Structure 1
């Protein structure tokens, strides 16, 4: 699966470390920045990854910033994105399966790097459920998105 990744200056070290493991798991990575520890505005990175994921519906995205929250807020402004903050593997698995999250946002400052990698693994391994109730809820979200 193709994975678009991006990080701001606070997340660059973790995303760099995670890239090799994600590749070992058999995924193709496209890094959309940043590539240095120099301060950068996270909304620009989130937008790049979000637009790439929407353009390639079979792909997923991973974003990392200080809290994960800023990237999540910014990514969710792009129509078709369902971004969620990863707080633990179980929660993100539920988000991927039940809510069809297509972008994972991680905290570089408040969650240990090892835990973040476990969250990434859970996100990439989970498959969206297709039960009627989940699809109905997704349609409700899409309706809300289209009306705004």
Structure 2
């Protein structure tokens, strides 16, 4: 599906507020409600809009510490890599996992309540995944920018 300017306006508005009602969305982007709803449905059907979610403030649910872990595996073979991927997929504290090109093999974003909770997480979860050679943890001092909005201009 090729996106036109109106599709981009719809996506920008929904990225800012996924709860927008169709009438309000249509008014914001300058369309009547029926064509706006049809366009949103097309964006959903094409998989451009993957899903709608609620963004939760981690501090308000006692998950105030985000850490980043760089992971080096003992081997790059499919069995080792797939075992690691399968293992982290079921760990809820791992909210993001990236397979990397470069220095480390994987980069994880992990959310826990505090430093002690991370220590326990590393002992009880990360260290139990076979095939890991090394884990380096990075602790951010201040969040400068974090967004879910993609630059569609």
- TM-score (norm. length: structure 2): 0.23
Q: Which of the pair is proportionally richer in helix? A: 1
Higher RCO (CA 8 Å, separation ≥ 6 residues)? 2
- TM-score (norm. length: structure 1): 0.24
For the pair shown, the structure with the greater C-alpha radius of gyration is: 2
